[in-house]
Homo-oligomer: A and B are copies of this chain.
Amino acid sequence: MEIEVLEGVFDANEIIAKENRSLLDGSGSFMVNLMASPGAGKTSVIMKTLEGVAGALNCAVIEGDIAGKVDSEKIAATGVPAIQINTGGSCHLEAKQVNRALNRLKLEGVDLVIVENVGNLVCPAEFKLGEDLKVMILSVAEGHDKPLKYPLMFSESDVLLVNKIDLIPHTDFEMETLEQTVLRMNPGVVIFKISCRTGEGVSDWTDWLKHRVKAGA
């Protein structure tokens, strides 16, 4: 008889992440794990993304926050199904929380599930949720030096959205330095430069995502 040994919290999480994967595969749904610092613009990116893919993709949103439900209410007001997870202090989402949310959503007919992770540039990168795509946002206001300080998040992400590019003239942000640093750490990463405030660059991202979801699902 084979005995399964769980190597602590990460292995246990990975098993449930695989369950999530099966759930999503069963309904042909694509899942994005959206990660960023507090205030980088996660909810704005979700709102703009929902707008950009409307008509092409049926969406649902899972909102992760330590407390509150401001974001899920904002999203539900647009008519897109939204489920709020409150982690009650924990600084990242785990696969089991997303599992509960996926089981409550009606996944049938849903093309794209966007999970907004807790605002944190560290721990969320360590916990797989069963996603198809890890997307991170860096706000221009955070500075171009962040990849060296938070290397795991920048190395693990499939997509980097550089948000708030409308602020560039008012900061010391060096886009070229950022891109060089990130591509050195993670040569496969796809970078989009956007401003949710002005709308600049957003359709490049949402067009890319539409193609990716249709190819991947």
**Interface bits A142-160 vs B (CB < 8 Å: 1, else 0):** 1101101111100000000
Contact, CB under 8 Å: B37 / A149: no
Contacts of A118 in B (CB 8 A): 122
Closest to A89 in B: B152
**Interface bits A114-145 vs B (CB < 8 Å: 1, else 0):** 00001111110010000000000001111101
Interface residues, chain A, with chain B CB atoms under 8 Å away:
37-40, 65-68, 70, 89, 91, 118-123, 126, 139-143, 145-146, 148-152, 164, 166-167, 170-172, 197
Main secondary structure of the interface of A (DSSP, over half): loop
Given known A-B contacts A119-B121, A141-B164, A148 and B39 have beta carbons under 8 A apart: no
What 5 A-B pairs are tightest by C-beta distance, nearest first?
Answer: A39-B142, A141-B141, A91-B122, A38-B121, A37-B37
Contact, CB under 8 Å: B37 / A148: no
Contact, CB under 8 Å: B170 / A39: no
| Alpha-carbon distance between A170 and B195 when the two chains are bound, in angstroms | 12
A196 to chain B: closest CB distance in Å? 11
Contacts of A122 in B (CB 8 A): 66, 89, 91, 118-120
A122 to chain B: closest CB distance in Å? 4
A88 to chain B: closest CB distance in Å? 11
Q: Beyond A39-B146, A141-B167: 16 further Cβ-contacts under 8 Å?
A: A37-B37, A39-B143, A65-B149, A66-B149, A66-B150, A66-B151, A68-B148, A70-B145, A89-B126, A91-B120, A91-B122, A91-B123, A119-B121, A119-B149, A123-B123, A172-B197
A and B contact pairs by CB, cutoff 8 A, 19 listed: A37-B38, A37-B39, A38-B121, A38-B142, A38-B149, A38-B150, A39-B139, A65-B149, A70-B149, A89-B152, A91-B91, A91-B123, A118-B122, A120-B120, A123-B123, A139-B141, A141-B167, A167-B171, A172-B197
Contacts of A140 in B (CB 8 A): 141
| Alpha-carbon distance between A67 and B166 when the two chains are bound, in angstroms | 30
